Structure 1
Amino acid sequence: MALLQTTIDDDVKKRADEVFARSGLTSAMAVRVMVTQVANTGVSPFDGLFLGKGGRAYSDEVRRAMVREEAKEYGLIPDDAQDDPARVPDDLLDTWGITAEEVGQ
């Protein structure tokens, strides 16, 4: 077994302990679960937050999505949203084999 050791501000540890306790965990257990999950999945909860090969790709994807949504807001590109978000599109109604009246439209 390996030993991980770190130093954390007392107040930060106290607040983290309170959060982990809601799930029945201690801080040590939570760190153990996180490190095990990262090792098993190959995915870090910090992927995309820092500049690295994976983080850069994630950040670029998020940035493009944000720019696209902002362009829609300003009318620079067509907004693919429906006028009435409560309306079920006709193609879905056809796929499901139901009528607009059956869903209250």
Structure 2
Amino acid sequence: MDDHWVPVACTLPTADRPLRLAEFDQLFADHLRSADRVGPHTLDLVLTSESRATVTDLTARETECCSFFDFTITEAPGNQVRVRVSVPPAYAAVLDGLSERLPR
């Protein structure tokens, strides 16, 4: 699993990083409905309503180890979940790396 884009600022133990990436991959594979890179530092995701508990848990844990992430979870039309992922300019490459994990 290629995690070269994970920054030094991430405090998640190195051994746990592949597991966390796999959690994001599974979330995207199972629940992602759309993704829109609205700017160099912002990514909007729309996921199924069934993903709400997983999204809330996963983003909370990710914020604990990578405090530069800002995840905003709101309702989206059709009873779906919108997640806005924002990073400071210095971490745009991290958002690039996360975006590359999205299913095509």
Q: TM-score range by the shorter chain?
A: under 0.3
The structure carrying a bigger strand percent of its residues is 2
- The TM-score normalised by the length of structure 1 is 0.25
**Structure with bigger RCO (C-alpha 8 Å, 6+ apart):** 2
Structure with the larger helix share? 1
